[in-house]
Amino acid sequence: MVKSLRRVKIAGLSTYVPPKVLTNADLETLVDTTNEWILQRTGIKERHIVGPGVATSDLAKEAACGAIRQAGITAADLGFIAVGTTTPDTIFPSTACLLQHKLAASHAWGFDVGAACSGFVYAFTTAMQMVATGSTDHALAVGADVMSSIIDYTDRATCVLFGDGAGAVVLAAADDTEPAVIDFAHEIDGSGGPALCMPAGGSRMPASHETVDKRLHYVKQDGATVFKFAVRKTEEICRRILERNHFDPSQVDLFVSHQANRRIITAAADRLGLPESKVIINLEMYGNTTAATIPLALADAIRQGRLKKGDLVLLASVGAGFTVGAVLLRWSL
Ligand SMILES: CC(C)(COP(=O)(O)OP(=O)(O)OC[C@H]1O[C@@H](n2cnc3c(N)ncnc32)[C@H](O)[C@@H]1OP(=O)(O)O)[C@@H](O)C(=O)NCCC(=O)NCCS
């Protein structure tokens, strides 16, 4: 990173999931599936789902308030808000605007980041730049999704995978002695678009009776293609960011991957030579919450006593687009 930029640290982290739980047993009553199949093929036991009328900005607000409190600031101290989401409350206004208003973050500007499952990592990097350049002293990065709003609960290939949730971090300037973000590495590959998408509701195919009848406002996925790409790219991006910062994978204290499928995470970790003790997997409780998985995993790692100040932490994600992301940091909380 450029030397004249300020170093940036995580000053606060908080997460939120809605109280209602959708178990594998519940899904057995909706589609032709079994608890055994879901557990064996994905590692997921249950996921949290919003009630009627609850939207992404509502979950984001809960997470953001906790992160702001932990950072010891008020919402008025925020200069910037980035919200990674695939399920904004509305196409416009942005969820960042709605969140800014809910928080009364009177000095913040911001926008939504459309990067699907890399939403948190990309929002994090964007918000980090605002602090690094000195544009603001405190920036909020949020990953939040209400996936249940775009999941077809008659499609067994997708409905077992996803859940709702939110996570937020406050980023602040670090002094020379404090643990801080080290680097990030991102790439996108639009050739993967058709493998994971929601076909209708945008400018290509606006909502119509026909699009609704054909169930085109739901997640469509070629699971095997996404699976192979995710394993390959997670390893590749992690190796790249470690190598260029002169770290060996064995020096990583905690690997925090996007939580889509237990088999993707363990395959990538195996390829990197990371033992189970350095890998956090919590998708059994939440499923794939898209932009929220990484902060949810970080929060669980803290609860389990698996993160201490100064630890080398590697975040990694692959999402629809395709989007690929990695962030390397020294843990600062
Ligand atoms: C979706 C996923 C779990 C499917 O697992 P898989 O081992 O690849 O399973 P397959 O797609 O090969 O399907 C195997 C069989 O199980 C069936 N199946 C799919 N979902 C099922 C379910 N919920 N219950 C029971 N059977 C199911 C399929 O129909 C298929 O049956 P067939 O062989 O008769 O056609 C897996 O591909 C995956 O996780 N992909 C990546 C998903 C992802 O990460 N998405 C988000 C990216 S950020």
Averages of pLDDT over each 10 residues, the chain, 333 residues: 81 98 98 98 98 98 99 98 98 98 98 98 98 98 99 98 99 97 98 98 98 98 98 98 98 98 98 98 98 98 97 98 98 98
Nearest ligand 1 atom to alpha carbon 157? 20
- Which residue's CA lies nearest to atom 20 of ligand 1? 157
pLDDT of residue 206: 98
Nearest ligand 1 atom to alpha carbon 27? 23
- Which residue's CA lies nearest to atom 28 of ligand 1? 157
Helix (H), strand (E) at residue 325 = strand 323-330
For residue 260, the CA-to-ligand 1 centroid distance in Å is 12
Q: Which of 31, 37, 41, 158 to mutate to test the pocket of ligand 1 (most atoms within 8 A of CB)?
A: 41
> CB within 6 Å of ligand 1 — which residues?
33, 37-38, 41-42, 117, 156-157, 160, 196, 221, 223-224, 226-227, 230, 260-261, 264, 288, 318-319
For residue 60, the CA-to-ligand 1 centroid distance in Å is 30
For residue 287, the CA-to-ligand 1 centroid distance in Å is 14
Q: Which CATH architecture has domain 181-330?
A: 3-Layer(aba) Sandwich (3.40)
pLDDT of residue 3: 52
For residue 194, the CA-to-ligand 1 centroid distance in Å is 17
Contact 76, 170 (CB under 8 A): no
For residue 223, the CA-to-ligand 1 centroid distance in Å is 6
pTM, to two decimals: 0.97
- Which residue's CA lies nearest to atom 42 of ligand 1? 223
Nearest to 248 by CA among 236, 234, 238: 238
In degrees and rounded to multiples of 5, residue 288 shows phi and psi of -90, 105
pLDDT of residue 4: 82
What pLDDT digit, counting tens, does each position of 67-122 carry? 999 999 999 999 999 999 999 999 999 999 999 999 999 999 999 999 999 999 99
Q: Which of 121, 162, 198, 227 to mutate to test the pocket of ligand 1 (most atoms within 8 A of CB)?
A: 227
Q: For domain 8-173, which CATH number applies: 3.40.47.10, 3.30.360.10, 3.40.630.30, 3.40.50.300?
A: 3.40.47.10
pLDDT of residue 2: 47
- Which residue's CA lies nearest to atom 41 of ligand 1? 227
pLDDT of residue 216: 98
- Which residue's CA lies nearest to atom 48 of ligand 1? 319
H-type helices in the chain, by residue range?
24-28, 35-42, 56-71, 95-103, 119-132, 156-159, 209-213, 223-244, 262-272, 283-286, 293-303
For residue 136, the CA-to-ligand 1 centroid distance in Å is 44
- Which residue's CA lies nearest to atom 4 of ligand 1? 223
Which residues carry out catalysis? 117, 258, 288
- Which residue's CA lies nearest to atom 25 of ligand 1? 33
Q: Which residues, listed in sequence order, are joined to residue 165 by a DSSP beta bridge? A: 145
The edge-to-edge listing of strands for the beta sheet with 80-84 is 8-16, 164-173, 138-146, 80-84, 109-113
Nearest ligand 1 atom to alpha carbon 156? 23
Q: What is the DSSP string of 87-150?
A: S-SSSSS-HHHHHHHHHT-TT-EEEEE--GGGHHHHHHHHHHHHHHTTS-SEEEEEEEEEGGGS
For residue 37, the CA-to-ligand 1 centroid distance in Å is 9
Where do you find CATH 3.40.47.10 in the chain?
A: 8-173, 181-330
